Amino acid sequence: MGKISVVKIAIVGSPNVGKSVLFNALTKKYVTVSNYPGTTVEVSRGMVDINGTRYEIIDTPGMYSLLPITEEEKVARRILFHESPKIVIHVIDAKNLERMLVLTLQLIEAGLTTILVLNIMDEARQEGVEINVARLEKELGIPVVGTVSTENKGIDELKKRIVSYEKRL
């Protein structure tokens, strides 16, 4: 039997953007919730197999910026820089694209291999927010995927992008 390698993926983003709903949509196996060592901050981890590769998905506490203020942000930052996930999924609320892109740029600048997920696309559409995903991808130079996590929309597309992105790393 071959050695099983696990590729780590961290889901990050500010509070209430749908990180945990996305985490649940992605992970079907071995989900655990535990306090991050030395803190009272809960971190969920789970596994998903995509195309024969096993990924460990980490649902990190909400963070607004890479410069941590709260204990939650400190934990999220520690996960990013001490656990060295191979891929970082930055989840944002598509209704607040511009404001939330600040953290995307910080993640890219920090050298983290980032996928941008524009979540809550249903509400964004209802509000008439139009996003040119192809142009955003080109300008940021990273994969961008629109999702409605609560309806499982865009999840298969995200999985495909994870696989193709990971192969290039």
User: Helix crossing, 19-26 with 155-168: angle to 10°?
Assistant: 80
- Site for Mg ion, residues 20 to 49, rule: CB under 5 A: 20
24 or 39: CB nearest ligand GDP: 24
Q: For 113, which DSSP code? A: -
Strands (E), the chain: 6-12, 29-35, 42-50, 53-59, 87-93, 114-119, 144-146
Most distant pair of Cα atoms in the chain: their distance: 53
Picked from Mg ion, ligand GDP, none, the partner binding residue 16 (CB below 5 to 8 A depending on kind) is ligand GDP
143 or 146: CB nearest ligand GDP: 146
The set of residues, in sequence order, having a beta carbon less than 8 Å from that of 50 and lying 6+ positions away, is 159, 162, 163
Taking Cα atoms as reference points, which of 138, 120, 134 lies closest to residue 17? 120
Picked from ligand GDP, Mg ion, none, the partner binding residue 58 (CB below 5 to 8 A depending on kind) is none
| Site for ligand GDP, rule CB under 6 A | 13, 15-21, 62, 119-120, 122-123, 148-150
With CB under 5 A as the contact rule, which of the stretches 18-26, 37-45, 75-83, 148-156 interacts with Mg ion?
18-26
Picked from ligand GDP, Mg ion, none, the partner binding residue 119 (CB below 5 to 8 A depending on kind) is ligand GDP
φ, ψ dihedrals at 151, nearest 5°: -115, 10
122 or 137: CB nearest ligand GDP: 122
Picked from Mg ion, ligand GDP, none, the partner binding residue 149 (CB below 5 to 8 A depending on kind) is ligand GDP
